[in-house]
Structure 1
Amino acid sequence: MKKDCKRKVELVVLSDIHLGTYGCRAKELLRYLKSIDPETVVLNGDIIDIWQFKKRYFPTSHMKVIKHITSLLSKKKKIYYVTGNHDEMLRKFTGFQIGTLEIVNKIVLPLDGKKAWIFHGDVFDNSVHHSKWLAKLGSIGYNFLIVINMLINVVTRLFKGGKISLSKRVKDGVKSAISHINRFEKTIAELAIQNGYDFIVCGHTHQPKLQYIADKKGQEVLYLNSGDWIENLTALEYNNQEWTIYAYANDPVAQMIDEIIPPEPEEIKLDFKIEQFYSELAEEIHVIPMNVLRAKA
């Protein structure tokens, strides 16, 4: 696919990719990224899942996503890495900039005379801050459920059945989970209205959404959530003064991109080490060495 054939997007927001976990749909994400030409990319937290990081599981498909994103730096594309709870160790490097990449905890972006308040969302989630061990345990359980779900879907495909999502059914069926998300959205909406923001852009809940939320006075703010790349395979796109929820399932061009641009052979690195991973990434974006980062920590 020629560059001028790619779909141009002013702003793309991605979150909850969870690279380094079995549930991450890296191949689908890479196809999406290869099909667009974004001006600005916001990585809104939980991009690399450090909570679930396994040194023997970081396949080439996951590395290709990172390499594609870092290749945008050489094209002078602006990239904001907004930290989340699963990659919270990066918060000690808030303010770090190299080229057009910047690590931040939150950001306010001006968009056609309006203001977008962008952050991951975990700072407003009490379960993460007051019971971190419980949140991590829940994350492990969720990841296990995703793996079981993948096996079930293999079987259902053999019998020509449709895909099912166990974790989504569990979450949708638990009223307390729905209530928790609603409180989360209401709280940040009220804060956004008080501070004069026009848009709230979050991740964290894995629930893609585009919805106006009003406070008690009837004032409204547009709440947006980019979803995830485990189950929903969604992103947020901003073009021509309009927000939309992108869904990979509804994008035949991205789904067929490998027929236009053949993918590179995939090899899983069985002897993967974090130092090796960092060295390869550093080579792409000319980041400071790992031992220097350790000295700073």
Structure 2
Amino acid sequence: MKIKRKIEIAVISDVHLGTYGCHAKHLLTYLNSIKPKKLILNGDIVDIWQFNKRYFPKSHLKVIKKIMTMASDGVEVIYITGNHDEMLRKFANTQIGNISIVNKKVLELDGKKAWFFHGDVFDVSIQNAKWLAKLGGYGYDCLTLLNKLYNWQLEKRGKERYSLSKKIKNSVKGTVKYINDYETIISDLAIENGYDFVICGHIHQPKMEYRDNKYGRTMYLNSGDWVENFTALEYQFKRWKIYNYNNDKLAPFIVNETDEDFEMQDLIAAITIVDQNLKKSN
């Protein structure tokens, strides 16, 4: 019998379902290993910017089905919109059964205030030149596809995986400054508004650290992504931690690579279950 880890809150972001860079099977392994009270989807779960109906593998559909199933089993699912799934912002404050769609969320956790949002609203490049950000998104998707092929060759030769995008990011001074500015702006705003925790995503950089200024202190948390870092945030026993798939994965929950039995009707069935539960609650 598979024993799932019970946690209070799990936070994932930047999954980018519908793109070549998404590692849906890794995410399914993680979701199959936990039993959270709340699952917070902190933006860019489905990549509507780069959505291509010719590329949406069964493993990507399985992630959606898994989330629907978790909701039907009583998990509170909070979908916070991001820039790549910004079309959902028109449905903000909508609730379907245990699934709610919001642009931001504030929760009280053991007497402390936690502020959740995706983070793109603090990205100047998106606010001032969305077309350039979208172009960069396509470039990033191509780079991750190339990286997949490169890592496939490395693994065949028994060598360690390598992230081309991380190497490029870390070697560009402007990128390092951009990330630091992003974290500082968000942390300062959280301190100004009296939030003990500020939880975001967007920049694909998992992090958990205290940030101070002359007005106070907050804990800055970033859930990372499921394109290159494979990370999530977990809250349990009044503490936060960063889950890292590469270090923490549990073998009994690994998704079968050859599993091809999932069809579109399975996804429709999962959505129907959520809808039936909604009708019962009414």
TM-score after normalising by structure 1: 0.88
Q: What does residue 257 of structure 1 align with?
A: 253
TM superposition shift of 1:153 = 1.2
Alpha-carbon distance in 2 for matches of 1:232, 1:9: 21
Q: Provide, for residues 38-95 of structure 1, a one-character-per-residue CA deviation record: whole Å limited to 9, x for no partner.
A: 1101000000000110001111101111111111122221110000000000000001
Q: Does 1:221 align with 2:215?
A: no
Give the counterpart letter for 1:113 in structure 2.
G
Q: What does residue 140 of structure 2 align with?
A: 142
Give the counterpart letter for 1:111 in structure 2.
L
Q: Does 1:190 align with 2:184?
A: no
Alpha-carbon distance in 1 for matches of 2:273, 2:118: 26
TM superposition shift of 1:285 = 2.8
Q: What does residue 279 of structure 2 align with?
A: none
Gaps of 5+ in 2: 277-282
Distance 1:90 1:142, change over 3 A: same
Which residues of 2 match residues 119-198 of structure 1 at below 5 A?
119-198=117-196
Alpha-carbon distance in 2 for matches of 1:188, 1:129: 16
Aligned residues: 276
TM superposition shift of 1:265 = 2.5
Contact (CA 8 Å) 2:64, 2:267: kept in 1 or not?
A: no
TM superposition shift of 1:198 = 0.2
Gaps of 5+ in 1: 288-297
Q: What does residue 98 of structure 2 align with?
A: 100
TM superposition shift of 1:286 = 2.4
Give the counterpart letter for 2:236 in structure 1.
N
2:17 match: secondary structure: coil
Give the counterpart letter for 1:149 in structure 2.
N
1:11 match: secondary structure: strand
Q: What does residue 294 of structure 1 align with?
A: none
Q: What does residue 75 of structure 2 align with?
A: 77
Q: Provide, for residues 218-263 of structure 1, a one-character-per-residue CA deviation record: whole Å limited to 9, x for no partner.
A: 621100000000100000000000000000111241x4424xx867
Q: Provide, for residues 171-221 of structure 1, a one-character-per-residue CA deviation record: whole Å limited to 9, x for no partner.
A: 111110110111111111111111100000000010000011112x16211
Q: What does residue 237 of structure 2 align with?
A: 240
Give the counterpart letter for 1:234 in structure 2.
T
**More deviation, 8-17/147-156:** 147-156
**Which of residues 45, 58, 80 is equivalent to 2:43?**
45
TM superposition shift of 1:283 = 3.0
1:52 match: secondary structure: coil
1:214 match: secondary structure: strand
Give the counterpart letter for 1:78 in structure 2.
E
Q: Does 1:283 align with 2:272?
A: yes
**Which of residues 260, 264, 281 is equivalent to 1:266?**
260
Contact (CA 8 Å) 1:59, 1:267: kept in 2 or not?
A: no
Contact (CA 8 Å) 2:191, 2:215: kept in 1 or not?
A: no
Q: What does residue 11 of structure 1 align with?
A: 9
Contact (CA 8 Å) 2:61, 2:267: kept in 1 or not?
A: no
Give the counterpart letter for 1:30 in structure 2.
L
Distance 1:89 1:76, change over 3 A: same
Alpha-carbon distance in 2 for matches of 1:214, 1:43: 27
Alpha-carbon distance in 1 for matches of 2:267, 2:34: 26
Contact (CA 8 Å) 1:58, 1:268: kept in 2 or not?
A: no
CA RMSD, Structure 1 to Structure 2 (Å) = 2.1
Distance 1:33 1:256, change over 3 A: same
TM superposition shift of 1:167 = 0.5
Alpha-carbon distance in 2 for matches of 1:279, 1:174: 45
